Amino acid sequence: MRIVGKVVFIIFMVLSLLVAASAEEQPSPSPALYQKGITFAAEGKFREAQEEFKKALEVKKNDSTSLSSLKVLRDFEEGTINKDFTLLFFKGIDLLVQNQPQQAITELQKALLIKQDYVRIYNILGMAYASSGNSEQALTHFKKALQINPSYTDAIYNLASYYASLENYQQALECYQIIIALDPDSADAYANIAAAYAALDQYPQGIAYYQKLIALNPQNGHAYYNLGLAYFMTDDFFRARESLVSAQKIFQQKNDQENVAVAEAYLEKLKQFENKWGSPGGS
Amino acid sequence: MDTQERLKLKKRYEVLPDEALLEMIAEGKDAYSPGAFELLVEEKEKRGIAESHLVQPSVTCESGEDEVQSEELPSEQYIALAIIVEYKDYEYAVSLLKNSDVLYSFEKLSLKGAQFPVSLIVQEKAVKKAIALLQGFKPAGGMVFW
Query: Which residues in B lie closer than 8 A to residue A145 (C-beta atoms)?
Result: none
What angle in degrees, to the nearest 10, is found between the helix axes of A153-165 and A169-182? 160
What SS3 state is found at B83?
A: strand
Task: Kindly give the confidence (pLDDT) of every residue in chain A, 283 residues in length, as a single tens digit, with 9 standing for 90 and above.
Answer: 333 333 233 323 333 333 334 444 555 555 667 899 999 999 999 999 999 999 999 988 878 889 999 999 999 999 999 999 999 999 999 999 999 999 999 999 999 999 999 999 999 999 999 999 999 999 999 999 999 999 999 999 999 999 998 999 999 999 999 999 998 888 989 999 999 999 999 999 999 999 999 999 999 999 999 999 999 999 899 999 999 999 999 999 999 999 999 999 999 988 888 787 765 544 4
Q: Which residue of A has its CA nearest to B122?
A: A147
Quick: pLDDT tens for A41-50.
999 999 999 9
User: Which residues have C-beta within 8 Å of that of residue B71, sequence separation ≥ 6?
Assistant: B5, B8, B9, B12
User: Which residues have C-beta within 8 Å of that of residue B80, sequence separation ≥ 6?
Assistant: A146, A147, A148, A149, A150, B107, B119, B120, B121, B145
Q: For residue B109, give the nearest of A148, A151, A174 by CB distance.
A: A151
Cis geometry, peptide bond prior to residue B117 (ω within 30 degrees of 0) = yes
Nearest Cα of chain A lies from the Cα of B34 at a distance, in angstroms, of 32
Q: Which residue of B has its CA nearest to A152?
A: B109
**What count of CB pairs under 8 Å joins A to B?**
53
Q: For residue B110, give the nearest of A174, A177, A182 by CB distance.
A: A182
The verdict on a CB contact (< 8 Å) between B141 and A147 is: no
Asked if B85 is an interface residue toward chain A (Cβ–Cβ < 8 A), one would say: yes
Q: For residue B117, give the nearest of A147, A175, A182 by CB distance.
A: A182
Asked if B145 is an interface residue toward chain A (Cβ–Cβ < 8 A), one would say: yes
Asked if A183 is an interface residue toward chain B (Cβ–Cβ < 8 A), one would say: yes
Asked if A184 is an interface residue toward chain B (Cβ–Cβ < 8 A), one would say: yes
